[in-house]
Structure 1
Amino acid sequence: MSLPLSILDLASVARDQSVAESLAGTVALARKSEETGYQRVWYAEHHNMASIASSATSVLIAHVAAHTNTIRLGSGGIMLPNHAPLLIAEQFGTLETLHPGRIDLGLGRAPGTDQNTLRALRRDPASAESFPSDVLELQAYLRGQSRIPGVDAYPGKGTDVPLYILGSSLFGAELAAVLGLPYAFASHFAPGALHEAIALYRSQFTPSEQLGEPYVIAAYNVIAADDQADAERQLQEVMRSRVALLLAPGTQFTDEQADALLKSPKAQHLHQMMTYSAVGTPDVVGEKVAEFAEQTGADELMIAHQGPRVDERLRSVELLADVYLG
C-alpha cells in the first residue's frame, strides 16, 4: 500500500525568473498538489538566499492558503531560535483561525542561514540551546496553557496547531521522541543519519496528548519527467545552480565551469546531498519512491520536486501522483 505523499516546496527562484513569478509558481504547485492527492505542502525558512523565496514563511503560507481549499499547509520548518515562541504562536494561531484544520507547524533549531545573516537577524548563536524549552513554551501558548503567567497568544490560544520536530541528526529524533511529537527527517539534503535517527525515535517514543504512537516523515528528492533524458538534463541544471549557491555564493559560473567543479572533490558533498533521489520517467521514479518507503519504514514521504523551473516541477508533481498515488 502506498504511503501519503507530501511536498516540500523550496519556492525556488530560477536565474531567468523574478521572485513574483516564483511565488505565483508556488501557488500553482500547491493547487496542483491539492488536485492530485498530496497530503500537505510545507515551506522552509531560509534567509539571504536569492534563489529561495520562502523567508517570510508564515506570510507565504497565508497567501497559498487563500488560493487553495483543502490541502494542509505548513512550515518545514520555522527555525525557532530565530523567533520568540509567542510571535510564532500568534502567527500560526492566526493562520489556523483563518484556515481551520489546515495548518501545520514544523520546527527546527538551525539558523537557516550563514553567520553574517545570523547577526543581521539579531540572533544569539547560543539561542539554539533553549530549543527544547522554546518548543514547550510555544506548544503551551497554542494549547491555552501558557507557562508565563498573564501572557497568552491572541490569536493562537486554544488553536492547538499540531507541532512537528524537524531534524537531520539524532538530537531532533530524541527530542521528538521525548515530547511525543511527529518527526520529519531532512534526508533530501542531509542523508547521513537517516536510519539511525528513525530507529532512535521509534525506540524512545513516549505517547503524548498530540500523538499516541510514533509518526515518521522522511524527505526524498524527485525529478519526474516524460523521458529519462529530460529528467537527467533537469538534474544537471539543478546541480549547476547548487555550485553557485553552496560552493561559491555570489559567484557567476558558466555551465562549463560549473560542470568542471561538479567533477572535482570540492563538490563531493553536493552529490552526497542527493543520495536519496529518484530521477527519470514515472515508472523509474515510482519504483524508487516505493523502495525508499520500504527501506525507511516511514509513515509519510515529504517529496522535494527539484526541477529547475515551475512548469517542470508541476509536471513532476503530476507524474509522481499518477504512478504512486493512483
Structure 2
Amino acid sequence: MLDLVAVREGGTVAQALDIALRTAQHVEALGFRRYWLAEHHNMPGIASSATAVLVGHIAAHTQSIRVGSGGIMLPNHAPLVVAEAFGTLAELYPGRIDLGLGRAPGTDGPTMRALRRDRVETEEDFPRDVAEVQRLLGPAQPGQRITAMPGAGTQVPIWLLGSSLFSAQLAAQMGLPYAFASHFAPRMLLPALELYRRLFRPSATLKKPYVVVGVPVIAAPTDEEAQYLASSTYQRVLGILTGQRGRLQPPLKDFMAHIGAQERAGIADFLAAAVIGGPDTVRAGFAALWQATQADEFMLVSDVFDPALRLHSLEIAALAAQSLSPIP
C-alpha cells in the first residue's frame, strides 16, 4: 500500500496520522507486504512531508510489514542525509525498511526553491545521487572519506520510482527494482515496463527485473457504492488538474454527472489504472491489469473519506487479489 496520509475535510493532521497508523496495522493483518509513504510538500491535504519520520512511526507500531518511502524525492535532499536517515531506520527495524527514490520535486516551484535553496538540478544529478546513496548504504571501503553513520553496511533496498521512460531506463541500467506511478500517471505504464525489462542488467542487488505498479483502488460491497465512495478521489483529482489542491472531501452522489465532459475525461485519464467496484469488479480489474503488466506487486492507493470504509475497501481488495493465482 502507498499512503499519502490525506487530511480530511473537517479533520486534523493528528487525525490523519492516526488513520495512517491504523491503516498500516490493518493491512499488515491482511497480509500486505509493504506500506510506503510519499513525500509531498506545501499541500494542505497531505501530511506525509516528513517521510522518514513517518516511516519510523509506522514501523514502530507494526510487527512485520516492510515500511518505506514511495518515495523520497532525492533532489530535495543531500544523499548523505538520506543514507543516514534510512540507515538509522534500518538499524532500528532490521529487514523491514525500503527506500524508494524519485526525481520529481513533489511540490510546486516556490516550495521547491525553499527546499533546495539555490541548488540547480541537472539531468545528470539524479543518477549520480542514487549511486552515492547506494555507496553510502553499502559496506564501508578502506580509505572512504565520507561514511554514513548510521547507514554504512545496512544495504537498505533501493527502489527507483518513476512515471516516465527516464527512470525506467535508469532502473534497468542500475539493476534496481522499479515502481511505476500509474496511480496518477498511467499513460506511459506499458512502454516504461517494456523498456525496463528489455534493458535490464542484472546486478548484485537484483538478478532479474522486478516491477511494482501503482493502482488506485476503491472497493465496496457493490459497484454503485464504490462509485459513490470514489467521488472523493474524483474531487481530489479534479483539484490536482485545476490547480486547486485541498483536503480530501466527503463523497458526493452523482459527482461525475455534474461536471463537464472535459473534466470527466481528465479524471478518467488520470485514473486509467484504477480499479473501482464491488468484489467481482475488483477481481476482474486486478486480473486485467496483471495480464497487461505482469507486475510482481500491486501498490494500492485508496482514498476513501470514511476511515472505516477505507479499511473495508482494503479488505475487499485483499480478498480479490488473493483469488488470483498469478499474485501470491
Please give the TM-score of this superposition, normalised by the length of structure 2. 0.91
State yes or no: 1:62 paired with 2:56.
Answer: yes
Specify the alignment match of 2:279 in structure 1. Answer: 282
Question: Partner amino acid for 1:12?
Answer: A
SS of equivalent to 2:229: helix
SS of equivalent to 2:101: strand
Q: Percent identity?
A: 45
* 1:99-118 mapped onto 2 (5 Å cutoff): 99-118=93-112
**Residues 1:202 and 1:259: Cα distance change in structure 2 (over 3 Å):** closer
User: Which of these residues, 304, 317, 322, is aligned with residue 320 of structure 1?
Assistant: 317
State yes or no: 1:41 paired with 2:38.
Answer: no
Return the offset for 1:259. 5.6
Please say which of residues 293-302 and 76-85 is displaced more in the overlay.
293-302
Specify the alignment match of 2:326 in structure 1. Answer: none
Return the offset for 1:264. 4.5
**Residues 1:127 and 1:279: Cα distance change in structure 2 (over 3 Å):** same
State yes or no: 1:132 paired with 2:137.
Answer: no
State yes or no: 1:84 paired with 2:81.
Answer: no
Please say which of residues 49-58 and 304-313 is displaced more in the overlay.
304-313
Return the offset for 1:17. 1.3
Please say which of residues 123-132 and 137-146 is displaced more in the overlay.
123-132
Return the offset for 1:128. 5.2
Structure 1: distance between partners of 2:188 and 2:256: 28
Question: Partner amino acid for 2:50?
Answer: A
Specify the alignment match of 1:4 in structure 2. Answer: none
State yes or no: 1:301 paired with 2:295.
Answer: no
Return the offset for 1:291. 1.3
Question: Partner amino acid for 1:322?
Answer: L
Any conservation in 2 of the 1:185–1:218 contact (CA below 8 Å)?
Answer: yes
**Residues 1:317 and 1:85: Cα distance change in structure 2 (over 3 Å):** same
Unaligned runs of 5+ in 2: 324-328
Structure with the larger RCO, 1 or 2 (CA within 8 Å, 6+ apart): 1
**Residues 1:126 and 1:267: Cα distance change in structure 2 (over 3 Å):** farther
User: Which of these residues, 203, 216, 227, is aligned with residue 208 of structure 1?
Assistant: 203
Task: Compute the RMSD of aligned alpha carbons.
Answer: 2.3
Return the offset for 1:134. 0.2
State yes or no: 1:263 paired with 2:260.
Answer: yes
Structure 2: distance between partners of 1:54 and 1:302: 17
Question: Partner amino acid for 1:274?
Answer: L
Q: Deviations over 1:273-312 (max 9, x none)?
A: 1001111111211121121011101111111113233222
Please give the TM-score of this superposition, normalised by the length of structure 1. 0.92
Specify the alignment match of 1:95 in structure 2. Answer: 89
Return the offset for 1:149. 3.7
Return the offset for 1:195. 0.7
Q: Deviations over 1:165-186 (max 9, x none)?
A: 0011110010000000001100
Any conservation in 2 of the 1:167–1:185 contact (CA below 8 Å)?
Answer: yes
SS of equivalent to 2:187: coil
